[in-house]
Amino acid sequence: KWDKDFDFDFDWPWIQKWKDSWTQSSFIKMLWIPFVIAIPLAIIIILLGLALVFFSLAPAMAEFADESLRRHPLSCLLYGALGYLCIVPAAVLLCISIIGIPFIPLLVLFLLLVVMAGFFAASKTLGQIILNKLGVKSHVFAILLGIIILFALSFTPFLGGFIVTGIMMAGSGAVLRSK
């Protein structure tokens, strides 16, 4: 028999056992809550650490990318789109030639570094724009704020992925413009 709460009352022992274990395991249900908080927090901390390493290893490129994103965001977006479009032909050319096959891992590494550097440059610029309006001058806090905004924006349904991809593309274009 079904009541209005869709509670079932069957005599099958395995259904009753499953129903009892599900209702009695509220403590087990609570155990996943720290992981839901800890995993995104760990990702943000790791991204912040990688961004600080990037900005300390290549400060001139990071500053040029930041200024380029502020002054010429549309051209950075176009450079990034052009860079993303050139990935497939470059990979095909490397695959066709026998000499180029060993360089395919280097292309993947270069792509990873440019995308990550673009993400960090875009997050710093985004955070710096917001902090300048608040009157705060901190590069580390700007990077952290930008990473949190982009991370949260990536979870926005449908448009969030497009917006974050566009921002990362503009950041990658700024890194590619920095030579």
Distance CA 150, CA 69 (A): 16
pLDDT for 125 equals 92
Residue 44 contacts residue 148 (beta carbons within 8 Å): yes
Q: Calculate mean pLDDT across residues 127-147.
A: 91
Residues 85-101: b if buried by 16+ CB within 10 A, e if exposed: eeeeebbeebeeeeebe
Q: Which two tokens stand for residue 14?
A: 């395995």
Alpha-carbon dihedral sign for residues 89, 92, 94, 96: negative
How much is the pLDDT for 75?
A: 94
Question: What one-character-per-residue DSSP string does 37-106 give?
Answer: HHHHHHHHHHHHHHHHHHHHH-HHHHHHHHHHHHH-HHHHHHHHHHHHHTHHHHHHHHHHSTTTGGGHHH
Structure tokens at 164: 């974050």
Distance CA 94, CA 111 (A): 14
The type of residue at 148 is I
Q: Contact 82/174 with Cβ under 8 angstroms? A: no
What confidence tens digit (pLDDT) does each residue in 12-46 have?
Answer: 555 556 555 555 556 566 666 777 788 889 999 99
Decide if pLDDT at 160 tops 60: yes
User: Is the pLDDT assigned to residue 133 strictly greater than 70?
Assistant: yes
Residue 1 has a pLDDT of 45
Beta-carbon count within 10 A of 58 CB? 17
- How confident is the model over 52-110, as pLDDT tens digits? 999 899 888 888 998 999 999 999 999 999 999 999 999 999 999 888 889 999 999 99
* Torsion of Cα atoms, 155 then 115 then 54 then 100, to 10°: 150
